[in-house]
Structure 1
């Protein structure tokens, strides 16, 4: 006979159950609710960590930038006369001004971001000339360091982002002035006079001759500047260079450092009054001011240089894959929500002579570190709750805040003799419409242009991974026709999630899904090359468990070797 189930209220207004099975069901439901809350807290914690990293230091990833560059102004010349005992009327002794500093662009291998580059850059000014024939000191060059893979382009007149050059800026400053005021302003910007001699100088013939010579020189500089505009700066900074000293060079010349590509020249220094000394002008009382440095507007676009580029939808496992391939040396963000990776991250794959790679030897440490990171993050969240001041300090993102970042564990040595090395870029996930700048859009599609080969990463645990593959190829082609021809392989990641419990039916379903994916690649993803057609390799993997990665690394090495031999 079944025991009746009844529920009633106690004296204190609480429910109690007379059936033990009902109590077990309630306990089980409470556990599930607690697990859901824990999962939600874990998800929110990971998101907060990622948001903190985006705000860290007030800088976010930046791969395109417009900068206004000005060369340094030249120093002014000096109007002075030599005076010493027994020589009350000495000769003119004003020194000339120093040259303004040039501005160089230097590609630097250690940088991966444009966020450290200021939007306005001005070269150092040259020193002014002084009496007793002391010339001003020329300014040191200004060097702008940019990452390798940066494309540099000068913006031409007509572009709304372009700032005025030095001549256009001067014309703007003269607007609204009458002819007399305009002439006075032009002279003030170009000449220096001995005290109380300005009016006398402008009426003398020697000054008028010097002024005419100055205008002729200025017209020549204007013409040279205009000719430069006809051949604008367009540089592809994909490598560094070294200054080679000839064997025939004079002794005493040491190794010179390459400063980079000059983009804005500094102005010449002004002339001191001894330069205007002549038989008919024995006491010149005027000198010239330094020339203004060149003004130029540049557009910088960073395109990450990597041998292999990983292409996939958000949360397809690209970051986990890069960690597994590099043995945990590459600190990529791993989480269960979309857009965990906010900027391209490049890792180095080191391969031994027997095909063994670093990640294969160090794979057991990777997810141990991940567990340590999660535990430290959880402990930090608890401390924030207990200490309100600490929580407010972190929310304000103060400079002394250590943040929820994780200490870097020392890397493990790669004991196998290294014979080959290549780089792999973990690119942020693409979504449908990325070619139209949806999601992370163009800012990260351009990071794939420089890769020697592309590798698609799809989530095999999803119902129809071939649809992901089709969307990825379409977005690459819409962004840059022919870009998808760089694809060589399809990685069916997360294969461990299908049939992992030994369920034979699930295993057969996974095999069928993999077969359909291979069939789709053979029919719809064929790449046409100069030698014929290329069929993409389809490799099932589990980046989380480091399964089948040795084969993946071997194929990647083959792609890179072929591309390097072909000179791509």
Structure 2
């Protein structure tokens, strides 16, 4: 099954907490703090795998979480780093932010991409020893990991894209010029998934060609299969626009060209502006009647397109078309790569990010800033409690409590700490 777009959640690992510990050894006086640092959390890394051609692996599993770092140990032992999570995807996969649709990364090269960096480990209490604070009884917690909701979108990397109505000979042409073996039959929508093939036109002269499932009128709005696969010709530098010159299915070849080009415009004006070669196929069915070919060539000349005629079934004109495509590609810029435009929004936590609520007989202080302060406080350590007291006072928390009528002996809850208020 071919899957080319999916939504998943990724989360890097939390950093390990620092350790509060004191060195105790016989005959060694005042050993001091020796709590180790926590390990770094694992990162989520995307890597291109050329053995993959679809996003099918992401159909059922929707959440990917890297391992957390281990907590620090005694004797200044650092916790083990969490293992990175490597996610393999086909070349040409684009990572987008699910909410904004902005591009995070275009995975078209071989460099691994760190999509979510693991949280740093917290410092152990050995880091906080000073001449005046020789026995710190607190350590830093590990930093949280990064969580992202993303969209994976596969846009095939091909130099040349074959476009046209169903059953005009695109699959036959690809099978003749490359080692690709797409399904070929005399009925519409034989091709249900894009097919890639490498075309060689000489020594060190080759390009990648994609056979895109047949596009029909209304494809840009969702009709047929074209809507699902138009994205795969986004990157193509050159389009080979195949038409049934013989009109074997009762359609007018010139009208077919106009309709397909309208669908390209409807999907993307940028795509519609790509260079095209109008290819009159099935000329073997015309016999001595050259009039349809002359009309197609005149149309191509009037609209600035190059023109070629061939019979994919017999091979006539195929080699000349591939040489024409190669010559055209030599003058065109390389395959388009999407530049990242996603800027992660970091929530700035200020001293105003707190509130006080009266819940029955309790005054509850909560908020992002309070959580940040309390996460670095060891309530068993006097100096750490003094630090907490100074921060809460400077932020105006105590003034707010008194404005709300707190009395001495009333219960106050801040994070996991519950105490009686004292003036």
Q: Same fold (TM over 0.5)?
A: yes
Write out aligned runs for 1:214-363 (5 A).
234-240=104-110, 258=111, 260-326=112-178, 329-352=179-202
- Of residues 135, 146, 157, the one that matches 2:78 is 135
1:486 aligns with 2:336: no
1:536 to 274, 297, 306: 306
Q: Deviations over 1:532-562 (max 9, x none)?
A: xx233031x2222222211111111111112
Distance apart, 1:453 and its partner CA: 0.5
Provide the residue aligned with 2:317 in structure 1.
548
> What is the CA deviation profile of residues 253-297 of structure 1, one whole-angstrom value per residue up to 9, with x for unaligned ones?
xxxxx5x23322211112223233344544444333321111222
Higher helix share: 1
Q: In structure 2, do the counterparts of structure 1 residues 290 and 511 end up closer, same or farther at CA, with 3 Å as the change threshold?
A: same
Distance 1:276 1:567, change over 3 A: closer
CA contact 1:93–1:273 (8 Å) conserved in 2: yes
TM-score by length of 2: 0.71
User: Which residue number in structure 2 is paired with residue 97 of structure 1?
Assistant: 38
What is the distance in 2 between the residues matched to 1:421 and 1:480?
27
In structure 2, the residue matched to 1:116 is 57
Q: 2: distance between equivalents of 1:565 and 1:96?
A: 48
Alpha-carbon separation, structure 2, partners of 1:282 and 1:566 = 62
Aligned 8 A contact 2:237 2:275 in 1 = no
- Return the index of the structure with the highest Cα Rg: 1
**1:462 counterpart (243, 249, 252):** 249
CA distance in 2, matches of 1:107, 1:566: 17
1:273/1:284 contact within 8 Å kept: yes
Assess, with a 3 A threshold, how the Cα gap between structure 1 residues 233 and 554 changes in structure 2: closer, same or farther: closer
Residue in structure 2 matched with residue 221 of structure 1 by the alignment: none
User: Is the partner of 2:208 in helix, strand or coil?
Assistant: strand
1:448 maps to 2:218: no
- Indicate if the aligned counterparts of 2:16 and 2:70 stay in contact, CA closer than 8 A: yes
Please give the alpha-carbon distance, in whole angstroms, between the structure 2 residues aligned to 1:301 and 1:125.
28
**Aligned equivalent of 1:475:** 263
How far apart are the structure 2 equivalents of 1:342 and 1:89? 75
Structure 1 unaligned blocks of 5 or more: 1-59, 162-231, 241-257, 353-417, 500-506, 527-533
CA shift, 1:479, in A, is 0.9
The answer on 1:71 being equivalent to 2:12 is yes
Distance 1:567 1:274, change over 3 A: closer
Query: Following superposition of structure 1 onto structure 2, how do residues 32-71 of structure 1 map, counting pairs within 5 Å?
Result: 60-71=1-12
Q: Quickly say closer, same or farther: Cα 1:449–1:566, change in 2 above 3 A.
A: closer
| Count of residue correspondences | 332
What SS is found at the alignment partner of 1:101? Answer: coil
* Shift in CA distance, 535/284, structure 1 to aligned 2, threshold 3 Å: closer
Q: Is the 8 A contact 1:456 1:487 kept in 2?
A: no
Query: C-alpha separation between the residues in 2 aligned to 1:106 and 1:121?
Result: 14
User: Is there any run of 5+ residues in structure 2 with no aligned partner, and where?
Assistant: 338-423
- TM superposition shift of 1:237: 3.4
- The RMSD of aligned alpha carbons is 2.7
The separation in 2 between residues aligned to 1:88 and 1:333, in whole angstroms, is 81
> Residue 106 and residue 564 in structure 1: after superposition, are their counterparts in 2 closer, same or farther (change >3 A)?
same
Q: Distance in 1 between matches of 2:226 and 2:254?
A: 21
Q: Partner of 1:145: helix, strand, or coil? A: strand
- In 1, Cα distance between equivalents of 2:301 and 2:82: 63
CA distance in 2, matches of 1:462, 1:272: 77
Q: CA deviation at 1:299?
A: 2.7
Distance 1:474 1:565, change over 3 A: closer
CA deviations on 1:60-93 (whole Å, 9 max, x unpaired) are: 3222233322121101222333334445974333
Q: TM-score with structure 1 length normalisation?
A: 0.54
**2:23 counterpart of 1:82:** yes
**More strand per residue:** 2
Q: Deviations over 1:218-268 (max 9, x none)?
A: xxxxxxxxxxxxxx764333333xxxxxxxxxxxxxxxxx5x233222111
